[in-house]
Structures are given as C-alpha cells and as structure tokens.
Amino acid sequence: MTSPAKFIGRSVPRLEDRPLLTGQGRFAADIDFPGQWIMRVVRSPVAHGEIKSIDTREALKLPGVHTAWTAADIAHIPPIGFRLTGLKQLEAYRQPVLAQRYVRYVGEPVAVVFADNQYVAEDAADLVEVSIEPREPTLHASADLGVFDHELTSEAGVVEKAYGDVDAAFAAAHAVVALDLSIGRHTGVPLETRGAIARYDAERDVLEMHGAAKVPHWNRDTLAQMLDRATESVQLYEGHVGGGFGIRGELYPEDVLVCAAALAFKRPIKWIEDRREHLIAANHSRQQHHRIRAAIDAQGHILAIDNEFFHDNGAYMRTHAATVPDLAAAMLPGPYRVPAYRAKGHIRLTNKTPCGTYRAPGRYESTFVRERLIDAIADKVGVDKVEIRRRNLLPKNALPYALGLDTLGTHIVYDSGDYTLLLDKALSAASWDELQSDLKKRRAAGELVGAGIAMFVEKSGLGPFDTVRVEIKPDGAIEVVTGVASIGQGVETAIAQICADTLGVDYKTIAVTHGQTDRIARGMGAFASRVTVMCGEATRLAATKLRKEVLRAAAELMQTGVEALDIVDGEIVRTGGPGPSMPLAELARALPHALSAEDTFESSHMVYPYGVHIAVVRVDAETSGIAIERYMMAYDIGKAVNPKLVEGQIAGGFAQGVGGALYEEFLYDDSGEPLSVTFADYLMPTAREIPETSIILSEDAPSPLNPLGLKGAGEGGVNPVGAAIASAIDDALQRPGAVTQLPVTPQRLKRLLAGRRQSSTT
C-alpha cells in the first residue's frame, strides 16, 4: 500500500446486499435440479431405547415414493469424524449416520425415505413404523453416571488443564469463595434451517453437494473419505447462507445421506430441514454446570481458581468433539491475574440432542462463571465490583501474556491489550458514578433497578493458514478467491476493502469468491472469528504480490521504471506528475491470464480481543419480567476494517446473549421428550426485547501478529451478556450472588423474589 487507506477503516456499504434485498439470494432451499428426489428423515420418537424393527412397507406403497433406507442399507458408511479437539477416547461415542441398535435422543435419524416431492415424502415418513423398546434415559450431566451402551458409561472423557500450585494456594488463602452455577441449553438457531442437495455427474465422475456452509473444504475431504472417493471427485458449493453461529455448516448425518443417496440412485437428492427438526436435530450447545472455588487474600486478590464442571454434550460426540469444554476450561481465567489454576471438565453424554459450538463457545459459559465469581469475591471482601476488577486485572505491561494453557492446538498468549484503559472508557461512557447514585435513589423509591458489569477476553483468528488468489481477468474484472466461507457476516465486503487498498482500486470492482471447493485447493472456512484476520492478511499478501507484478509488467509496456508508477483508482499512473496512464483493464487485456497472484498467511497463535459490557436492568416485582434499560459494550479489536459491520456483529451477538440470559432454553420432560420444538416454546428475542445499545469500538491494542493489527469481531457481542445481566439483576435485588443459573426466566426470578421477601422479613 503506497497510498493512504481509502477503504480499510471505513463503513462502506456492503457488496452483498443487493441480491439479498431484491429476492435474488440463492439459499439451499432455492436450489433445484431436474429429476430430483426429496429426502425425508424418519426420527426417533424415543429418547433412549433399543430398535426392535423398522417397517417401511406401507410407506413404499404410497404413489410417488421411490425407496427407503435404514442403517442396514448404509452399513459401509462410518460415523462422522472429529474436526477439532478430537481426542481418541471420544471416538467410541460418535454418531452413526442412521441409528443402528440403539436410539439415544428424540430426533435421531433412524430411516430416510425418498419421494417425488416434500408433501409425499412427509406422508411416507409418517407411515414408517419404528418399534423401539425404551430404556431409562440419562438427562442430567452432573448426576450419577448413566450408560452409553453395555460397556461404556455416560462420561465420554475429562478435560483437564492446570498450572501453578492450586492446593498450596488454597491452603494459604485468607478466604475461599465457592459457587455452584449453571448455564442453560441453547443454540444458534439460524433463520435458515439446514439443507443439502447432492447430485452425481457420471460423465465427470464428480459428486456435488450444494448448500454447503462454514467449512466446505473439511466437509469435502471428510465426505470423500467416508464415501471412499478421491478427494477431487467430491466438490462442495456454498450459496447464500442464512446465518451460521457455529451450528450451521458442520457435517451432519443428513449431509452424508444425500451424498450417499445421489451416488446410489444416480439422482439429485434434496433435503431441507423443517424447524421442528432443526430444534431437535441440529447441534445444541452451552449446557454446563460449574462448581467453582477461588482462593483469595484479604484484599480480594485471586490466589487460585479451581474449576470443576460438567458439560452436557447430549447423545453423541459430533464434529466438535471436546472443543466446547476445552475452550470453557482454557478461557475461564479471562483478563485477570490468576496465579494458579486447575480445571476439570467432565464431558457427559445425556439422552438429548448432541452438542457443538455456538457463538463464543465455552466463553459465554466461562465468562458467566468467572464474572459471578469476581462479583462474589467483591462481596466477600466488601469492595465494589469495579474496584475488585481493578485489583485483579492484568496490567498493560504484563502483555503479551502467556496464560500457561493450550486450546485448539495453540498456546494461549494474550497478544496485546490494555484492560484497565478499556474499563475506564466504558465506565466513563456509562457515567458509572452518576448511574450508581441515580439507581440508589430509584431503589430508595421502591424500584428494583440495578447495574452490572462484566469483562472478558475473546479469542479469534485461528490458523493454521489461509490461502488467497487475486486475479485480474482479461475483461478487467478483479476476483479474490478464498477458501473461507460466508455465513452472512459481510466477508465479501471486508475482504474487498483490504484488497482494494492494497491493489489501488475501488472495492466495488472486486468480486470475492468463497466456499467453492473446485475454485481453490484448500481452505479453512469460517469459524472462531477467523475470517477477517486470516483471510484478510492472506488477501493483503496476495494483493501485494499482484501489485508488484502489475507494476513490473506496466513498467515494461510504458517504458519506465517500476518506482515511477503507482496504481490509483484502477489506473496505472506516473507518480512524478502528469504523463500517459493506463487502466488496469487495458494491461489485463494485453496480458491475458498473466495477472494473478496467490499467497498464504500462516499463524500458529490466535489473537485476543477484549471487552467490557455494562447492563442496567429493571425487575418487575409483579410479573417477574426483566427489562434491559441500558446496555453498553466496549470492545477492542485492534483495527476495524469496516466499523459498521463490526458494530453489526456486536449488536447481533448481544441479542443472542440476551436470549441465553433471559429467554432461550431447550427443556425436556422426565422421559427425555423435548419440550422446545417450535418458536412458540423456544423463545428468541424480538425487536421488543432488545433495547438500543451503545457500542464503543476501541482500537488501542492492534494485534502484533498481523501487519494490519486485526482481531476478530464475531463473538464479543455475545460473550459476557449472561454475566453482565446476572450482575445487574443481583444489584436490582440488592442480593449479591442471587443469580446462579441462566436463563433467568420469570419462573426462576419469581423464586428469587420470593426469597428476597423472606430475607427482608427475617
């Protein structure tokens, strides 16, 4: 980049918007192929049991029904493997593509039918008779161990992480603070349900799967392996994706089934999930129960934390394997100095929907737990919750800070940050002292109002690599090809902004191609807030190479030195002053297919943004409803490529955080029957529940790990919302430590209020 940035750092409009606004999007359900069959999954109605028989005869008699499969028909297909944190011992707990001898959750695929259209397919699925002998379900992860099969128990594994001498610290402590805390079961719930359309092209011997998302290359490689095909004979295509949030785009049994069926029947096979299926079959997340203790000195300094927890992973270990409990264990210490730490996370299986990641996986949970603990320490030593944080925060000069723990195959090293500075900014923006006196007055007048605060360190930019190719086509069009994916977050715009500034063109002239496995050999996809960091830097590297190539070629044609030329607004110009110039398109015409450059960014460490949230809530003693009056989020992401899009990420994450804090929860009855199977039971916030928020986008601590200083922005909006709201509810009730469980539903709050009345009369 020779010229100052024209696009990086500016809130330019998105390149993605126009087709989406005019109904021209291509989502999974919008894809059809002539002669396609529709697949419908028959799912277990029982939480735990042994399959006695599956009878498809009646279903097959229905006109328009072609065939049906049970496990016996696909016995050659292995279970889906692990994409991340795949401990060997967990493999025995993988999910078969169709249930074999046992069913282990309501919603588990036991058979599939194939028919001419969706209506007939659904009729046929209803006619499949499945006979199951029920077994006792295991429904509580922290209760006694249950059984997985005749050999294995319900504890699939244990995540252990530690540093320092925890026992010595507890022995020498001035006091110990111990809490018992739970986080409810909720998940991403993108507005577009899952979908997959497979077809086999016999002429090219290529299996295609459309409707891919998030990690197309890993899914391609895995599908090829599972179906015993050469990697390059399987191609995945990402269209528009209606939200990701961790859940969408992982490899699920249904994806494997459409591909296997397309190969077997030589027909395009289409599967589109309905919402009930989505709520019982796509990954759940978050449910965790912590028993946590802190050893402290007389001033409330943390000496050690001992964190034992039970992770309810549902019925099977899916693609994420131990990722969520691993992150929960590793990220719990947060922005504070914790001299000694020990985590023991029990990965427990229950007869509920299997789990995976959901935006800020392991951190929504561990931030809630840690920040509850910090509030409790404040109460124990009698200082306010801001002061206790100041006492324990890592000082600026401690960074970079090696935490002494690993996660996702990397050592955790907080790369840069000034946590106290961001706390000060947030407090000052919230007028914290005035706010306190105002709330005090209102409480004196009988209102139940209070403020809460939560701090956190996020992680982002997971490697190990991303590759980008930038090409100027003979017609002058510029294309960036990458192996990352778009899940609606604005990838194309952000990447085009970086490419535009590096190359010297308008960002609107750049097309970004992503999620197409036949366009680039490898790619890591979109997860862990990695795209702008990893793909952004790979784009800068590739565009820098291409710029050099352009100037070298232009210098030859224009008979001048490379140093005398620059690229400005897509035009090759002389730096010294007036003189003949040449549009990039003209050069591309002169040198067809020569103007292309590829580069890879490799990184073995993640980058660590950090933030502060402040919540003000009002509790209604009559209805037990909670209104969020004000909410403020300060987030330091090093460098915002497009501030408006970053704010959009934060605001969207916040709404999901509110859902998990107050409304959303997958509940089951005593037999393991799911009770949250529609949007009338699983309550996501609407425009009414989400207040206007204020966001401070801070750039005090650019990452030293990439030249633009980028850190990811996807998960800081959601991470501490449960923690901040819990802290505010405590304050409103004037009962420190009152909230021990998320979500704080009206029923739970009513119990808390009853306790409050009791304690005020005794």
Partner 1 sequence: MTEKTPITLTVNGRNYTIAVEPRRTLADAIREDCGLTGTHIGCEHGVCGACTVLVDGEPVRSCLMFAAQADGKQIRTVEGLAKDGELHVMQQAFMDHHGLQCGFCTPGFLMLAVGVLEREPDISDEDLLDVLSSNLCRCTGYQNIVKAVRAAAKEMRGQ
Catalytic residues: 715
> Is 461 a residue that touches partner 1 (CB under 8 A)?
no
- Nearest approach in angstroms of CB 23 to partner 1 is 2
Q: Residue 421 belongs to what H/E stretch? A: helix 419-429
DSSP state of 80: P
CB 722 within 8 A of CB 654: no
Number of H helices, E strands in the chain: 18, 28
DSSP state of 74: G
Of residues 653, 672, 674, 716, which one binds partner 1 by CB under 8 A? 653
> Is 645 a residue that touches partner 1 (CB under 8 A)?
yes
- Nearest approach in angstroms of CB 43 to partner 1 is 16
Concatenated DSSP letters of 490-548: -HHHHHHHHHHHHHTS-GGGEEEEESBTTTSS----S-TT-IIIIIHHHHHHHHHHHHH
From CA 374, how far away is CA 727, in angstroms rounded? Answer: 10
Of residues 112, 124, 156, 189, which one binds partner 1 by CB under 8 A? 189
Of residues 2, 3, 24, 759, which one binds partner 1 by CB under 8 A? 24
> Is 285 a residue that touches partner 1 (CB under 8 A)?
no
End-to-end CA distance of the chain: 70
Helices 643-658 and 721-733, axial angle in degrees (round to 10): 50
Of residues 678, 758, 760, 761, which one binds partner 1 by CB under 8 A? 678
Buried b (16+ CB within 10 A) or exposed e, 141-178: bbeeebebeeeeebebbebebbebebeebbeebeeebe
From CA 637, how far away is CA 701, in angstroms rounded? Answer: 7
Of residues 52, 622, 688, 762, which one binds partner 1 by CB under 8 A? 688
Of residues 193, 353, 416, 502, which one binds partner 1 by CB under 8 A? 193
What single letter denotes the amino acid at residue 699? E
> Is 58 a residue that touches partner 1 (CB under 8 A)?
no
- Nearest approach in angstroms of CB 559 to partner 1 is 43
> Is 693 a residue that touches partner 1 (CB under 8 A)?
yes
For partner 1, give the closer residue by CB, 497 or 703: 497
> Is 684 a residue that touches partner 1 (CB under 8 A)?
yes
- Nearest approach in angstroms of CB 692 to partner 1 is 6
Tokens of 437: 């006196």
For partner 1, give the closer residue by CB, 62 or 162: 62
- Nearest approach in angstroms of CB 18 to partner 1 is 8
Beta pairing class for 596-602 and 465-472:
antiparallel
Nearest to 570 by CA among 558, 580, 584: 584
Which residues touch 718 (CB under 8 Å, ≥6 apart)? 359, 360, 364, 653, 654, 656, 657, 660
Which of these ranges, 93-101, 186-194, 425-433, 553-561, lies near partner 1 under the rule CB under 8 A? 186-194
Footprint (CB under 8 A) of partner 1, residues 249-278: 274-275
Of residues 72, 475, 680, 758, which one binds partner 1 by CB under 8 A? 680
Which of these ranges, 129-137, 183-191, 320-328, 339-347, lies near partner 1 under the rule CB under 8 A? 183-191
CB 331 within 8 A of CB 408: no
For partner 1, give the closer residue by CB, 22 or 762: 22
> Is 240 a residue that touches partner 1 (CB under 8 A)?
yes
> Is 25 a residue that touches partner 1 (CB under 8 A)?
yes
Of residues 119, 225, 232, 734, which one binds partner 1 by CB under 8 A? 119
> Is 460 a residue that touches partner 1 (CB under 8 A)?
no
> Is 9 a residue that touches partner 1 (CB under 8 A)?
no
Beta pairing class for 510-514 and 478-482:
parallel
- Nearest approach in angstroms of CB 660 to partner 1 is 13
For partner 1, give the closer residue by CB, 79 or 239: 239
CB 192 within 8 A of CB 243: yes
> Is 66 a residue that touches partner 1 (CB under 8 A)?
no
Query: How many chain residues interact with partner 1 (CB under 8 A)?
Result: 59
> Is 116 a residue that touches partner 1 (CB under 8 A)?
no
Of residues 13, 395, 464, 704, which one binds partner 1 by CB under 8 A? 13
Tokens of 452: 């809460």
> Is 211 a residue that touches partner 1 (CB under 8 A)?
no
Footprint (CB under 8 A) of partner 1, residues 480-519: 487-490
> Is 17 a residue that touches partner 1 (CB under 8 A)?
yes
From CA 209, how far away is CA 484, in angstroms rounded? Answer: 17
Of residues 190, 515, 523, 611, which one binds partner 1 by CB under 8 A? 190
> Is 204 a residue that touches partner 1 (CB under 8 A)?
no
> Is 118 a residue that touches partner 1 (CB under 8 A)?
yes
Q: Residue 156 belongs to what H/E stretch? A: strand 155-163
> Is 648 a residue that touches partner 1 (CB under 8 A)?
yes
Using the structure block, give the residue that is written with the tokens 């961790």: 246
- Nearest approach in angstroms of CB 156 to partner 1 is 30
From CA 498, how far away is CA 502, in angstroms rounded? Answer: 6
Q: Where are the beta strands (DSSP E) in 546-698?
A: 565-568, 571-574, 582-583, 596-602, 610-619, 626-636, 694-698
For partner 1, give the closer residue by CB, 169 or 614: 614
Query: Which three-class secondary structure state does DSSP give residue 268?
Result: coil
Give the angle subtended at the CA of 29 by the CAs of 28 and 34, to the nearest 5°: 100
Integer-rounded Cα Rg, in Å, for the chain is: 27
How many CA atoms does the CB half-sphere of 732 hold within 13 Å?
Answer: 30
Cα 531 → chain centroid: 12
> Is 445 a residue that touches partner 1 (CB under 8 A)?
no
- Nearest approach in angstroms of CB 214 to partner 1 is 12
> Is 421 a residue that touches partner 1 (CB under 8 A)?
no
> Is 655 a residue that touches partner 1 (CB under 8 A)?
yes
Tokens of 631: 């909410």
From CA 45, how far away is CA 43, in angstroms rounded? Answer: 6
> Is 27 a residue that touches partner 1 (CB under 8 A)?
yes
Nearest to 265 by CA among 204, 195, 207, 196: 207
Which of these ranges, 18-26, 196-204, 555-563, 586-594, lies near partner 1 under the rule CB under 8 A? 18-26
Give contact residues for partner 1 (rule: CB under 8 A): 13-14, 16-18, 20-25, 27, 29-30, 63, 118-120, 188-193, 240-245, 274-275, 487-490, 644-645, 647-648, 651-656, 678-680, 684-690, 692-693, 717
